[in-house]
Amino acid sequence: MTTDPRQAALTAATAPEPWDILVIGGGASGLGTAVEAATRGYRTLLLEAHDYAKGTSSRSTKLVHGGVRYLAQGNVSLVREALHERGLLKRNAPHLVRDMGFLIAAYKWWAAPFYGIGLKMYDLLAGKLNLQASRYVNKAQALARTPTLKQAGLKGGILYFDGQFDDSRLAITLMRSLEDHGGVTLNHAPVVGLIKEGGRVVGARFRDDETGHEHEVRARSVVNATGVFVDDIRRMERSDVKPMLSPSQGVHVVVDRRFLPGDSAIMVPRTDDGRVLFAVPWHDHVVIGTTDTPVPETSLEPRALPEEIDFILSTAAQYMDPAPTRADVRSVYVGLRPLVKAAEGTDTKSLSRDHVIRISDGGLITLTGGKWTTYRRMGEDTVNRAAAQAGLPERLSLTAGLKLHGATHEDLPDHWKVYGTDAEWVQTLPGANQKIHQALPYTEAEVRWAARAEQARTVEDVLSRRLRALLLNAQASIEAAPRVAAILAEELGRDQAWQAGQVRAYTDVAQGYVLR
């Protein structure tokens, strides 16, 4: 067992001196805000109720992109900003972001020129940060890049380029970057109430879920960046506040790489319901999605509807040969989008994906909306508002050029690349050559690293977000859980009863990712 760093973080978090900025929420928006604040030299604390990227931020389509469909909707400014941020993120986290070609297959004579014109605009909006120029490909070139594309009637297509990444690994990288710059961060530390004095929000009460003890922290500015749960925190300030969000859910299925063995992704620009659908190579598997279904309420573990699975598989079957069936699905996962409410009768797929910042009468700053690609810009905008509101000294943003923790251009093997410069340290730990399961690429050393360096506290933290086993092969991850629990128990000083409880809890969650 190694020394547990959590106690040091807890002691620092609860020290009597007030924080400059307290961020509630450890997803894309919260981590982006906290890194922005800490790198400006503000004393920054981040509290996460469950685990970093536990919600939507670990369940994306794995794209760093400008949003081709937002261009079709005429939202040029959103696309331009996202393309700019895509370029910065690739530069600042080259170990996590890579270029990927996306093929729009043309089965009608007009399709290639029609989409080609739009994608030239996409290239132009990216400016000097563009990845590669889009171009026309003929039938043979299209099949060379995506051999499982349906051949009947195929005329060619348009190839364009966007970024692809690992979302929860970026979250962990941001958490490490926050620590590198003097910030303090705690997971499994839900905020249970806000502290108000004279009508102003001046801090929060949180519970350490590992001990059950509650603590108070004070801050000059409090930022609510809890994604689809922002209304829960807003109600802690005022119980009668009107909801901000109209959440919708996006479903993805994960299948074996044999269904898309080439080096490019497939993009379907207009599905039967007017959305786009992607089939994207990811960690030697293929992610296919997504849907856009309004949901009446938010939950930590949303579930796919049968019709959503059928829609994804039937749409994929129009373009892929062979096409995956329900029996081929290794995992199904669901993310909730924090879409800001619009007028009655507006469908969720046309709601703005831009981020929104609202400041309450008591000074609580709420950040919601947006997407992973623009996490940095969201953080910059929020800290600008927070610093001005709290009267903090004005300081320039540094994050546009900030290399994130572990950043390296070294050409590491795909499996180790997400660790960047930490990869060599991970491989010095016991179990570096021992897989946790034969159907998964991960090693026992990575479990130890997750506990020692990446704040993993539970089996789910490890198998879902430090490693991506839950999304790659849910059943295999369930089978790996007992060994992972044993390693974690050794690292964290836990007993057999804790291990058994962890395996039960993880199995309960992971069963929801297995398609029955």
3-state secondary structure 187-199: CCCCEEEEEEECC
pLDDT digits (tens, 9 = 90+) for 232-282: 999 999 999 999 998 999 999 999 999 999 889 999 998 887 888 999 999
Name the CA dihedral angle for 242, 244, 249, 250, rounded to a multiple of 10 degrees.
180
Is the predicted pLDDT of residue 230 greater than 90, yes or no?
A: yes
For the chain, the C-alpha Rg in angstroms (whole number) is 22
Confidence of residue 107 (pLDDT cuts 50, 70, 90): very high
Contact 291, 251 (CB under 8 A): yes
State what percent of residues in the chain have pLDDT above 70: 97
What is the rounded distance in angstroms from the CA atom of residue 337 to the CA atom of residue 23? 20
Domain ranges across the chain: 6-56+169-244+349-401, 97-162+246-346, 427-513
Quote the pLDDT of residue 73.
Answer: 80
For domain 97-162+246-346, give the CATH superfamily.
Answer: D-Amino Acid Oxidase, subunit A, domain 2 (3.30.9.10)
Decide: residue 3, CB within 10 A, 0-12 exposed, 13-18 middle, 19+ buried. Answer: exposed
Q: What is the average per-residue pLDDT within 99-118? A: 95
Angle between helices 28-39 and 167-180 (to 10 degrees): 20
What is the number of residues in the chain? 516
Angle between helices 444-453 and 474-492 (to 10 degrees): 50
C-alpha dist (Å) from residue 4 to 45, 53, 69, 215, 451: 19, 22, 46, 19, 9
Q: What is the average per-residue pLDDT within 52-81? A: 91
* Predicted model pTM: 0.96
The tokens describing 186, both together, are 């705690």
Please say whether the structural domain 6-56+169-244+349-401 has been given the CATH code 3.50.50.60: yes
* Bridge partners of residue 214, in order along the sequence: 207
Angle between helices 375-390 and 28-39 (to 10 degrees): 60
Domains 6-56+169-244+349-401 and 97-162+246-346 share a fold: no
Quote the pLDDT of residue 352.
Answer: 52
Confidence of residue 54 (pLDDT cuts 50, 70, 90): very high
Quote the pLDDT of residue 383.
Answer: 98
Confidence of residue 479 (pLDDT cuts 50, 70, 90): very high
